[in-house]
């Protein structure tokens, strides 16, 4: 298996991280908030019809993302094209991005469901989206650092 | 009379058991000659047949007839879980090798016919599989099924065949299958999973099938089973799908065509 170019490997690792991160966050959301806490509703009457359709598409994409991301990572690793720091950057960008998208588009625009069915939902919304922004910032910081010392990281990895 | 009825209701599990025995007979006969179907494949096929026989148990049939949840468990087993394991057992490869040459040749020509190639294409197989479910739950077909036993059996058979066809078009390991690109198969899988998730949530939201013998609550519980357990089977399918992709990229020689 021939190795791709340097930039190809870097972007490959970043995307593998994004896919895995998005998928894992979606799975955490489903397992913890849907199944264990039962905070989220499977469906509530405020859900828009277009929301149901986009929910199906999003759900499918999440499921594929987690599996595709995982196999991309082991494939990159097998072909010595894995840039670990980029995986981590992508992972945090993916988790944070999903959390923020879920908290704004899914919860507020499409009204798929709310975080919890209580009188004052604002603190929950703030905590939810702040977590998303926080994770995104971690991802961005790692990415900036990786850009500064990216080359070194790759050779460390190859050794 | 009663005994005849008991026999009839046990007929499907008995047939499934006999087919499993036939598979193992073929496997042992051929184990030196063929390299494609190894012991894990044979075990996978047996697991698939076991799941299928559970779906066809008389108690399960009664539950599925009276209760939407039971119906959904049957659907999940017949159309989603059993096919994954059966397809990995490559029964058609085994069949082609054990049959006398003239019959095997005829079967091969059927498998290569344009009709079979058309219905086993991922897009067609998806339409047959998921499209069949939309038709069943959104039309009066579901209610009619409860009055006509013949129709009921036909629906179950469709679940199994369409589920098998779809799974085969995605992860079939039999040689001579479709050479459909990875991207196309992945796109079809994406639409299929989305369509399944959407249908189950829509059934929950609008309590489809309408005017059925089931209470709204039962339909909603059935739809939830369809959503979450359908998810798990799709996850298993995806893991196999991507592990085949990984294998095809990293194997220097391919023993199993993907």
Does residue B257 form part of some domain?
Answer: no
Residues of B in contact with A29 (CB under 8 A): none
Residue A156 pLDDT class (50, 70, 90 cuts):
low
Calpha distance B242→A139 (Å, rounded): 26
Contact B121, B178 (CB under 8 A): yes
Contact B250, A1 (CB under 8 A): yes
Residues of A in contact with B245 (CB under 8 A): 71
Contact A153, A146 (CB under 8 A): yes
For B121, the domain range is 2-102+115-249
Does residue A1 form part of some domain?
Answer: no
The pLDDT mean for chain B works out to 91
Burial of B170 (0-12, 13-18, 19+ CB in 10 A): buried
| Cα three-residue angle B167-B201-B157, rounded to 5 degrees | 35
On whether any CB of chain A is under 8 Å from the CB of B238, the answer is yes
Does residue A27 form part of some domain?
Answer: yes
- pTM for the structure as a whole: 0.90
Query: Are the beta carbons of B250 and A55 separated by less than 8 Å?
Result: no
Residues in chain A: 159
Our count of domains for chain A comes to 1
What is the separation, in whole angstroms, between the first and last Cα of chain B? 51
Task: Give me the percent of chain B exceeding a pLDDT of 90.
Answer: 78
On whether any CB of chain A is under 8 Å from the CB of B190, the answer is yes
Which of the 8 DSSP states describes residue B130?
Answer: I
Calpha distance B124→B80 (Å, rounded): 17
Tell me the mean pLDDT in the region B109-134.
93
Does residue A150 form part of some domain?
Answer: yes
What are the Cα distances from residue A12, in Å, to A72, A75, B13? 8, 10, 49
Tell me the mean pLDDT in the region B82-106.
94
Q: Higher model confidence: residue B229 or residue A113?
A: B229
Does residue A118 form part of some domain?
Answer: yes
Does residue B107 form part of some domain?
Answer: no
Residue B32 pLDDT class (50, 70, 90 cuts):
confident
Our count of domains for chain B comes to 1
Contact B162, B128 (CB under 8 A): yes
Nearest Cα neighbor of B212 from B146, B135, B159, B149 is: B146
On whether any CB of chain A is under 8 Å from the CB of B242, the answer is yes
Contact B88, B54 (CB under 8 A): no
pLDDT value of residue B234: 96
Does residue B147 form part of some domain?
Answer: yes
Does residue B256 form part of some domain?
Answer: no
For A32, the domain range is 6-158
pLDDT value of residue A106: 82
pLDDT value of residue A123: 86
pLDDT value of residue A111: 79
Is residue A5 scored above 80 in pLDDT? no
Is residue A90 scored above 80 in pLDDT? yes
Does residue A41 form part of some domain?
Answer: yes
| Cα three-residue angle B190-B192-B198, rounded to 5 degrees | 100
Does residue B110 form part of some domain?
Answer: no
Residues B150-200 have pLDDT tens digits of 999 999 999 999 999 999 999 998 876 667 899 999 999 999 999 999 999
Q: Is B31 helix (H, G, I), strand (E, B) or coil?
A: coil
Residues A52-88 have pLDDT tens digits of 888 889 889 999 999 999 999 999 999 888 888 999 9
Does residue B109 form part of some domain?
Answer: no
pLDDT value of residue A9: 75
The pLDDT mean for chain A works out to 84
Cα radius of gyration (chain B)? 19
pLDDT value of residue B257: 46
Q: What are phi and psi of B163, to 5 degrees?
A: -65, -40
Is residue B9 scored above 90 in pLDDT? no
On whether any CB of chain B is under 8 Å from the CB of A74, the answer is yes
């Amino acid at each position: 298996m021939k190795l791709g170019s340097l930039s190809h490997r870097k972007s490959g690792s970043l995307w593998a991280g994004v896919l895995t991160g998005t998928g894992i966050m979606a799975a955490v959301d489903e397992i913890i908030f849907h199944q264990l806490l039962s905070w989220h509703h499977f469906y509530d009457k405020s859900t828009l019809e277009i929301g149901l359709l986009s929910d199906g598409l999003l759900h499918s994409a999440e499921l594929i993302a987690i599996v595709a991301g995982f196999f991309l990572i082991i494939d990159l690793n097998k072909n010595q094209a894995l840039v670990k720091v980029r995986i981590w950057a992508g992972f945090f960008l993916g988790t944070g991005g999903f959390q923020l998208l879920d908290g704004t588009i899914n919860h507020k625009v499409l009204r798929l469901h709310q975080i919890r069915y209580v009188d004052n939902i604002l603190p929950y919304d703030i905590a939810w989206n702040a977590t998303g922004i926080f994770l995104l910032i971690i991802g961005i910081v790692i990415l900036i650092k990786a850009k500064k010392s990216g080359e070194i990281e790759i050779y460390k990895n190859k050794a | 009379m009663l005994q005849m009825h008991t026999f009839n209701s046990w007929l499907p599990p008995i047939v499934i058991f006999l087919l499993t025995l036939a598979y193992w007979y073929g496997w042992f006969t051929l184990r030196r000659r063929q390299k494609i179907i190894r012991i894990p494949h044979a075990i996978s096929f047996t697991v698939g047949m076991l799941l299928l026989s559970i779906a066809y148990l008389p108690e399960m049939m009664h539950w599925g007839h009276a209760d939407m949840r039971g119906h959904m468990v049957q659907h999940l087993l017949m159309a989603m879980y059993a096919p994954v394991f059966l397809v990995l057992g490559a029964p058609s490869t085994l069949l082609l090798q054990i049959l006398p040459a003239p019959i095997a040749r005829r079967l091969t020509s059927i498998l290569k016919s344009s009709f079979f190639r058309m219905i086993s294409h991922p897009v067609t197989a998806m339409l047959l599989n998921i499209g069949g479910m939309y038709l069943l739950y959104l039309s009066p077909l579901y209610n009619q099924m409860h009055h006509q036993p013949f129709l009921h059996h036909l629906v179950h058979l469709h679940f199994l065949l369409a589920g098998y066809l779809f799974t085969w078009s995605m992860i079939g390991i039999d040689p001579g299958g479709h050479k459909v690109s990875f991207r196309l198969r992945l796109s079809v899988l994406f639409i299929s999973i989305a369509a399944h998730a959407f249908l189950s949530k829509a059934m929950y939201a609008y309590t489809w099938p309408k005017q059925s013998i089931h209470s709204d609550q039962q339909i909603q519980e059935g739809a939830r089973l369809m959503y979450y357990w359908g998810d798990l089977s799709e996850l298993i399918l995806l893991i196999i799908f991507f592990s085949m992709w990984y294998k095809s990229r990293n194997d220097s020689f391919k023993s199993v065509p993907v």
